[in-house]
Each structure stands twice: as C-alpha cells, then as structure tokens.
Amino acid sequence: MTFEQREIRDLGGIGPSERDFRFSRSELRRRKRSKVRLAVLSIVVVLAVLGAALYGYYRSQVDGGSSKTTVTVVATPGEGLSQFAGALASNKVISSSFVFKLWLRTQPTVVLQAGTYKFNADSAFSAVLSALERGPVLDRLVIPDGLTLDQIAARVGKLPGHSAKRFLQVAASGQVRSPFEPTSVNSLEGLLYPDTYSFDPSTSDAAILTMMSDAFVTEAQKLGLTPQTRIDNLSAYQIVTLASLIEKEAVYPGDGNKVARVILNRLAQHMKLQLDSTVLYALGNKASSLSFADLQTNSPYNTYLNYGLPPTPIAVPSESALLAAMNPASGNWLYYVVVQRDGQEAFSSTYAGQLANEQLAKSRGLG
C-alpha cells in the first residue's frame, strides 16, 4: 500500500462508526446500571446501619441496666398495662413505655393486679414482666403473743410509709372499735389477734387495725368466746383482761388454769391482786424487776394499790391464755410463785404456804 493510500484510509476513519455508536450506548447503560447499583447499595448500607442502631436501641431498652435503686410503683384498681407502662417510664423503671408496649405484644398476656410493685430502676423488661406476674408485693407483720398495743405500734412503725405514733393515734381515735369493747372503753389493748399478717404497703393504719381486730373476733368465737359470753360473773371484756394477766403471769404452759383460779379467788374475796405484771405495764414495760418504790406507782393499773382487774387488758393474750381464762382450774389457791427453772409455779391457799414456797424458790436461786 502506497503512502497516499494509507493517508486516504486514515482520513476516512476520522468519524465514528456505527460500531462506535453501539459501544458508546452500551457503555452509558453500563455506567447507569452501576450508578443504580451503587445507589441501591448505599441505601441498603444506610438501612442496615439504621436497623442495627434501632435494634441496638431496642435491645438496650429490653435488657435494661444494672441499677440497684429500688422503685415503688402503685397500680390503681382498673388500671391497664398501657397506663401502667406510662407510670413505669415516669418512675424510671423503664426508659420507653412505647418500646415496652411493643415488646409486650411478643409476650404472654398478663393481667395487671392493683397494688404496690417494687422494681429496680432501669429494669430489664423480662424482670418487670416477672414482677407483674408475681403480683403486688406485700408487707409482712409478725405479732407474737403477749405484746402490748405500744409494742405492736412499734412493729408497724418499721414498715415503709407507717409510723408508730400515727398508728397509736388511729387506734385511739375510735375509727376502729372491737365488739368486745364496752361503751365506756376506748382502747384496742388486748383485742388485736397475734398472728403473721401480709398486706399491701399502701394499706392504711385503720385497715391494719380492722384486720387484726376482726381476726381476734373470729378466733375468739372459735374458742367459744363472744361479746355476750359471761363466766364467773365476768363479762367477755373482763375475760379477755383476765387472759392477758394469765399471759404475763403463767410462765409454765400447764399453770394457766391455776393462775386463772387464783385471780378469781382473790377477786371473790375482795383481795388486791398484787400482780407485778400490772405494775410493769403501768411503767411501760421498761423495767426487768420492781423496786418498793415501783410498787407505789400511782396508776389504775397498779394492782398493789387498787382492787379488782386493771381497767383494760395489759397484753395480747394467746389462745391458751384465753382458754385458761374460760376454763379455770378448781381449787382454793390464793398465792403462787415460780419454784422451777422452767417456770413451773407452786400454789398455796395460805400465806404461810406462800412464804414456804418463796423460801424454796430462793434456795434454788429463783428468789
């Protein structure tokens, strides 16, 4: 090929050929697809990142934190879980009521019971659900035999939201009365049943007193004691008072019926009862032993100075003490004293016999 021929060929190839146009269109389509794929990939990445962030947020809400702070939340009667979720969030138990309600849709249905619940702040949703399934938390109050009203109040006062002073004020206000109380008496001393009680922390003092008073009435009736009962010319209230004296005086379990008979015999003979337990009650049960000066304490409860039973019971009587008061032993005893280390007492019908028993007790290191 000559030089001229090559030049003509080269000049003739300056413009784009049909093949070149086809190639350009294909390239454009390829590049467009690439841009679309890149855009889609970018959206996918963004959505993945956003999804991961949302899931992380969701899990952080569901899993909660590690706070040990206790939070109390009250569910009112008729309140639903949706409303309660708002209360949980406002009390910092959970961070989001919305997320909690979404999560609840994946869980078994729970019926919210009215009452007080205790949670940790920033709780895991599963922990909140477990608490709701268990139901409201309850305060536990143990009242053993032989406590006075003051001592019961002290125990109530240790419960959250209560005070001994306020409990005693409510007890003296007349809001709660026992059917065993005479119209001339305004005291629940000895008329509250000794037992273990469980109740919602929001329970009022009046409700607690009613619960304990009603329990006393119920249990007394099981023993055959009603407000209309009369035994040995004693009213039902006086029988309870007698039982409270037995509770404090009869240390040995088998001596209650005999102590009851001694007290009844003394009452029949118009003798002073002269019971240390009544003086200790007058002194607030703060002494372990009595001095001669203590026996001169000016109080209607001092049976060394006053005749008859004290004006009210002096403690919560046990069932055994109530039964002993209702079933006194037969005998003419007027005195007793502890002569055994297990608390067993010796009884006598004469003062000389009492002095001999006191000497016996002293010889055993009990006087």
Q: Per residue in 235-252, pLDDT tens?
A: 999 999 999 999 999 988
The residue whose two tokens read 């060394």 is 304
- All CATH 3.30.1490.480 domain ranges in the chain, comma separated: 70-134
For 200-349, where are the E strands, in sequence order?
335-338, 345-348
CATH architecture of the region 70-134: 2-Layer Sandwich (3.30)
Could you report the per-residue pLDDT of 296-309, keeping only the tens digit for each?
999 999 999 999 99
Q: Label residues 133-155 b or e (16+ Cβ within 10 Å = b).
A: eeebbebebebeebbbbebbbeb
Q: What is the pLDDT of residue 163?
A: 95
Rounded to the nearest 10°, the torsion over CA 288, 265, 256, 281 is -30
Q: Which ranges of 72-197 would DSSP assign to H, the alpha helix?
A: 81-90, 97-104, 125-134, 149-156, 164-172
Residue pair 291/125 in contact (Cβ under 8 Å)? The answer is no
Low-confidence ranges of the chain (pLDDT < 70): 1-23, 39-42, 44-61, 367
Q: What is the pLDDT of residue 8?
A: 46
Nearest to 123 by CA among 65, 82, 68: 65
Q: What is the pLDDT of residue 23?
A: 56
Q: What is the CA radius of gyration of the chain?
A: 42
Q: What is the pLDDT of residue 17?
A: 57
Say how far apart CA 316 and CA 143 lie, in whole Å.
9
Say how far apart CA 251 and CA 340 lie, in whole Å.
10
Q: What is the pLDDT of residue 196?
A: 94
CA 198 to chain centroid, in Å, comes to 5
